[in-house]
Every structure is written in C-alpha cells, then in structure tokens.
C-alpha cells in the first residue's frame, strides 16, 4: 500500500498572520480552516497544484513552542518549495517582498535560493534539472 506524508506541522505565532503570508502573499491554497476549540484551529495550506503534502499551521500553545518558532530545524533550511519555473517564481516572490538570504545560485542539481518567512523559517526555492 502506498504511503505519503500528508502534513508537516509548522509552529507559528498566530493563525491569521500565517494565513495572510502563505495564502495572501505566497499564493498557497487554503485547504482547510476548522475551529477545534476556542483557541485551536486545524489550518492546512499548500502551494497551488500540490496534491499530497500540506503545511499544518499550528499556533504555539505554550512557552516551549513559542521558543522554537522559526527554529524548528535549528539554523538549517526547514522546507523546500519546488518549482518548474524558477525565474518566474523568484521574480514574483521578489515583487511580493519575500526576504531572500542570498542570491540565486546554480548547483549540480538545479537552481536554488534560500529565503525566510516572516516567522523565521528558512526555505529553499528550487528548480531541479
């Protein structure tokens, strides 16, 4: 039986600013936003056309979770956004004001650039050859 990762939990300070960034600015789709309790929601977002893995935007619920916002992978890249049109997506992200941590670079596997979301999570935008 095939398996896949359906969601990756991304701890954020609050739901709405995270939705505003990922859906409003990055163009991700809001897959689900369901209230679980008075202070907890199930919020799933995904890049357009993504069919399997989603991001679960999880609001920090305690001090320990607040401390790891933006540091869930230490100082490494946490997530990889793969594209089939690096130049176009890079230009769109630049116009949207996304913070890039470097200039795009060509690697043996493709084009890549490191960027950071407003919550401190490091990402790679990557187009594989």
For 15-61, write each residue's pLDDT tens digit.
999 999 999 999 999 999 999 999 999 999 999 999 899 999 999 99
Round to whole Å and give the CA distance between 127 and 101: 17
The reported pLDDT for the residue numbered 58 is: 98
Round to whole Å and give the CA distance between 100 and 38: 36
The 8-class DSSP code of residue 43 comes to E
* DSSP class per residue in 5-51: --EEEEEES-HHHHHIIIIIIT--EEEEEEEEETTEEEEEEE-TT--
Q: Residues 103-125: what's their mean pLDDT? A: 97
The reported pLDDT for the residue numbered 1 is: 83
User: Among residues of the chain, what percentage have pLDDT more than 70?
Assistant: 100
For 52-98, write each residue's pLDDT tens digit.
999 999 999 999 999 999 999 999 999 999 999 999 999 999 999 99
Round to whole Å and give the CA distance between 59 and 43: 9
Place of tokens 């596997």: 109
Q: What does the angle CA 84 – CA 15 – CA 54 come to, to the nearest 5 degrees?
A: 35
């Amino acid at each position: 039986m095939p398996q896949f990762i359906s969601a990756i939990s991304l701890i954020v300070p609050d739901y709405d600013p995270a939705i505003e960034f990922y859906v409003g600015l990055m163009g991700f789709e809001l897959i689900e936003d369901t209230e679980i309790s008075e202070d907890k929601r199930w919020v799933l977002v995904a890049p357009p056309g993504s069919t399997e893995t989603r991001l679960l935007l999880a609001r920090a619920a305690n001090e320990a979770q607040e401390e790891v916002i933006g540091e869930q992978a230490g100082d490494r890249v946490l997530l990889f956004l793969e594209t089939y049109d690096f130049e176009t997506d890079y230009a769109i992200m630049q116009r949207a004001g996304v913070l890039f941590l470097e200039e795009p670079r060509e690697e043996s596997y493709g084009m890549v650039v490191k960027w950071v979301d407003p919550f401190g999570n490091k990402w790679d935008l990557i187009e594989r050859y």
